[in-house]
Amino acid sequence: MKTLKTLFCLAVVGLALYSALQFALPYFRFYTFRSDVRDMMRFELQGPGELKALVLQRAAETGVPLQEEDLEVEASPEGYLLWAQWTEEVNLFGQYQRYLDFEIKEGPWDVYGDY
């Protein structure tokens, strides 16, 4: 009976860790990708098209499901303005689906003011 109880507890802990990992990975990708985007915006680029191409390339490398129509890049006198939005699905054993929405707004401090 003690062995059965131990196996049950291990199964519950395993399921909890698996679920936590499934939810943590999209957030890890988001924060990593956002950091990379901030770094890219500091470069001297040829224009918004080059920045957009770099961001889309980095999204593909990091596994972020960002489509070209979900990314906007504009040039302003103060620098570049970037807005990106995407949704990732977390699927636990095919029984529970949860959609996580992510958004990045980057630009000069006085434009967005959320820093």
Residue boundaries of the structural domains of the chain: 2-112
Distance, in Å, from the CA atom of 107 to the CA atom of 80, rounded to the nearest integer, reads 6
In percent, how much of the chain has pLDDT > 70?
93
Say what the pLDDT of residue 60 is.
95
Minimal CA–CA distance to 27: which of 16, 15, 35? Answer: 35
pTM: 0.81
Could you read off the pLDDT of 34-62 as tens digits, one per residue?
999 988 888 767 788 888 999 999 999 99
**Average pLDDT for 58-71:** 94
Q: What is the pLDDT of residue 107?
A: 83
**Residue 100 predicted with pLDDT over 90:** yes
Based on its alpha-carbon atoms, the radius of gyration of the chain, rounded to whole angstroms, reads 20
Residues 6 or more apart in contact with residue 23 via CB below 8 angstroms: 90, 98, 100
Burial of 91 (0-12, 13-18, 19+ CB in 10 A): exposed
- C-alpha–C-alpha distance, residues 7 and 10, integer Å: 5
State CA 84 to chain mean position distance: 10
Which pLDDT does position 69 carry in this prediction?
A: 94
Q: Apex CA 52: angle with CA 46 and CA 55, to 5°? A: 115
